[in-house]
Structure 1
Amino acid sequence: MNALLELVSNTAASAISAMVVASLLPWLVSIVAKASGGFKLRNNAHPRDFFQHATGMAARANAAQQNSYETLPIFLAAVLTAMLFFVPQAIINVLAWLYVLIRIGFCVAYITNLSAFRSILWALSMACSLMLFYLAIRVSI
């Protein structure tokens, strides 16, 4: 944990950067889903139809993309709430970047079909967001 603290600056720009990376992660996973599923330019007219018939790695990558979109609003709200209530910026930054790293691991685990590990990583990523909310509540009391 100390190594992560040393790598992450204690400015708000670090948390904002983590939010940007987390926001781009579903898009990056969609590229993996499309590339592994043989997505062609003509499929762009109806990409959801294409993914309804996807199997294997392409289907798992698409599911990882969807799950990333589902958890993203919670993470973004948690970071902004923690910043609004003046949780120490260094703590916000560590939890924000930890969330990003865990979500990257989650996507890799999902794509490679490591279902139990994926579930653990999902829970850990949610714990980062919930911890930010908890800290905001504690600071505001």
Structure 2
Amino acid sequence: MQEISGIIYLILAACLLPYAFAIIAKVVGGFKLKDNQNPREFLAKTTGLAARANAVQQNSFESLPLFIASILMAEYLVVPQFIIMKLGMIYIALRVIYGLCYLANLSTLRSIIWFLSLLCPITLFIIIIKMMTI
């Protein structure tokens, strides 16, 4: 049961990560209570660090379906827990580093980290495919 709870924490962390960057975007952008009437419009008008934080938020949400699907399928098809946990933790760490690179405006490094983070769920899918063909 402890192994399954680790997977739940991975998914929870990945799901909460975009909100951390949304908060950064709003705080840095000067979000006020009146802006809550249309927060997307507010964020669309931000520039600089706030705009980059918003972009991280959006990309983090875009990345979630592939990650969650790979984790759940790996769990369902009984991929060894240590593999799921290792790739999941690497994915989360890379997504945090990706966000920090985006905030720091390190575009080349950001793109490399983005690609490496994408390899984590893809690797899980490849493992799943190989397990199914054995």
Aligned to 2:6: 14
User: In the alignment, does 2:125 pair up with 1:133?
Assistant: yes
User: Which structure 1 residue ranges, 4+ long, deviate > 6 Å from structure 2?
Assistant: none
User: In the alignment, does 2:60 pair up with 1:93?
Assistant: no
Aligned length: 132
Displacement of 1:22 in angstroms is: 0.5
Aligned to 2:110: 118
Identify the structure with bigger relative contact order (alpha carbons < 8 Å, sequence gap 6+).
1
C-alpha distance in structure 2 between counterparts of 1:110 and 1:124, whole Å: 15
Task: Work out the percentage of aligned pairs sharing the same amino acid.
Answer: 44
Mind listing any 5+ residue stretches in structure 2 that lack a counterpart? none
User: In the alignment, does 2:60 pair up with 1:68?
Assistant: yes
Work out which of the residue numbers 5, 15, 29 in structure 2 matches 1:37: 29
Q: Deviations over 1:10-62 (max 9, x none)?
A: 81221221110000000111000001100111101111111121000000000
C-alpha distance in structure 2 between counterparts of 1:49 and 1:24, whole Å: 22
- Normalised by the length of structure 2, the TM-score is 0.96
Mind listing any 5+ residue stretches in structure 1 that lack a counterpart? 1-9
C-alpha distance in structure 1 between counterparts of 2:50 and 2:95, whole Å: 18
- Please, what is the CA RMSD of the aligned residues? 1.0
